[in-house]
A = this chain, B = another copy of it.
């Protein structure tokens, strides 16, 4: 049995006590952008219930065109107004460089990715970078509440980056 099959068995149990459907727009009008790291259970970290917030995640919790696309849809079509950014301690993005990663892929496949890997040497600085990218973007309309945090994987605490 694959892990996927095992998780599907979990889903069958989840559905037994599920009650839906909830409305489509997020009830708390918040969008979260967080790292894909397995230790970040975003709903539990923020005490979110189903239906309350959009959750956008990728390697690093960085802001690229696809997060801008998601935030533009979230705010313009589904009414969110606040943005919460979450990076974390002990992040995999601190362990490599863009040059090294893209060269490794070129060596193995013969093709160099046309995108940046978005590795970063300092997690606080990259939270500030993510906020700056949103602030500078013309397609995300609601910028009054954009706050960035580093989740401590040892303590479970969100520490705000100023």
Contacts and interface: CB of A to CB of B under 8 A. Distances in A.
Interface of A: 2-4, 7-15, 18, 20-22, 24-31, 36-41, 43-48, 50-59, 64-70, 72-74, 76-78, 82, 84, 89-90, 92-93, 95-96, 101, 104-105, 108-109, 111, 113-118, 138-139, 141, 145, 147, 152-158
B64 A36 contact: no
A2 to B, nearest CB: 6
Nearest to A89: B21
Contacts of A10: 46-48
A43 to B, nearest CB: 5
Q: How many copies does the complex hold?
A: 2
A80 B105 CA distance: 16
Q: Which of A24, A43, A73, A92 has the most CB of B within 10 A?
A: A73
A132 to B, nearest CB: 18
